[in-house]
Amino acid sequence: MDTLEYFIKSSEKELNFLLTDFGFESEVKNTAYEYSIIFKKEKIELRFLTELGNISVPHMEFKISKTIFNLKRLSNQDNLEKIIEKNYNRTHPIMEKEVKEYLRENKHNYSESEKDFNKNGMNDIDEFLKEVAEILKNNEQILKGYMFPFIKARFNWK
């Protein structure tokens, strides 16, 4: 299974409550090799951005009224940041090596990234999405368009 297909299926599973409980809609958009997996409702949007064949967890944006807020700020004990950092530290050297090899030989060789994705990548995606879901469930106000949880986190208010 490719990385994009797995991410879409896993996001539909882990974030299904956005559709069923909060009235969000989901869609997948693509431009060339770039894909956006979007969950949106009125003025709220959760967007994951990735490239075809990318083995790292996708970039994520959470917007209320077109203003981007960092979900990492609402993560319990910086769990989301730790998940992303762990994934990056493992996948970046693999992808960098494959790009250098492609530039040198003008031929794609994804064998190492495929092995890594099958061994670690699916688990990383699941862990990432479960943490995103946990953040959203623990801060339901933001799913209704309220920004206060981000303000509290910014100023460390209890």
The count of residues in the chain is 158
Asked whether the predicted pLDDT for residue 142 surpasses 80, the reply is yes
Domain count, the chain: 1
**Assigned domain for 129 exists:** yes
pLDDT tens sequence across 100-138: 988 898 887 778 888 998 899 999 999 999 999 999 999
pLDDT tens sequence across 47-62: 999 887 777 888 899 9
139-150 burial: b if 16+ Cβ within 10 Å, else e: beebbeeeeebb
Up-side HSE of residue 96: CA atoms within 13 Å toward CB? 6
pLDDT tens sequence across 19-74: 999 999 999 998 888 899 999 999 999 999 988 777 788 889 999 999 999 898 88
DSSP single-letter state for residue 18 = H
**Assigned domain for 158 exists:** no
The range of the structural domain enclosing residue 107 comes to 3-152
**Assigned domain for 67 exists:** yes
